């Protein structure tokens, strides 16, 4: 996860933040661990204070990247949480060369 913000900690932040979530969907991860990643992300988003304005983007990667949503696609916490409903579409070998795609 990449966080760009002007505060001490994401959960204590009252300023805007841009969060890029990059989840591993390679074949070695498997569906159980993939959904464990999603559960962590759902908990993170759910626990954000209401006063925090956060823009979230999410990408999965394996043998190719798959951008699920960009920073300004969802304006509400509920929208972001709904956007996290993605299937595990595993690929082959992890190719970290795609990690710059969101930035």
Q: Where are the domains of the chain?
A: 2-6+17-100
What is the pLDDT of the chain when averaged over all its residues?
79
Structure tokens that stand for 93 in this block: 């070998």
Pairing mode, if any, of strands 65-69 and 17-24? Answer: unpaired
* Beta bridge pairs of residue 20: 2, 57
Question: Using an 8 Å Cβ cutoff, are 18 and 71 in contact?
Answer: yes
Of 65, 40, 41, residue with least CA distance to 54: 41
CATH node for 2-6+17-100: 3.40.50.410
Q: What is the pLDDT of residues 18-38, one digit of tens each?
A: 888 999 988 888 899 999 999
Residue 89 pLDDT greater than 90, yes or no = no
Whether residue 3 is predicted with pLDDT greater than 90 in this model: the reply is no
Structure confidence at residue 54 (pLDDT): 83
Mean pLDDT of 43-62: 84
50 vs 62: which has the higher pLDDT: 62
């Amino acid at each position: 996860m990449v966080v760009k913000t002007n505060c001490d900690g994401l959960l204590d932040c009252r300023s805007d933040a841009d969060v890029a979530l990059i989840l591993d969907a390679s074949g070695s991860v498997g569906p159980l661990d993939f959904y464990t990643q999603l559960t962590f992300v759902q908990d993170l988003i759910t626990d954000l204070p209401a006063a925090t304005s956060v823009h979230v983007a999410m990408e999965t990667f394996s043998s190719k990247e798959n951008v699920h949503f960009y920073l300004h696609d969802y304006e509400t916490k509920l929208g972001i949480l709904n956007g996290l409903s993605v299937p595990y579409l595993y690929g082959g070998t992890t190719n970290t060369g795609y990690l710059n795609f969101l930035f």
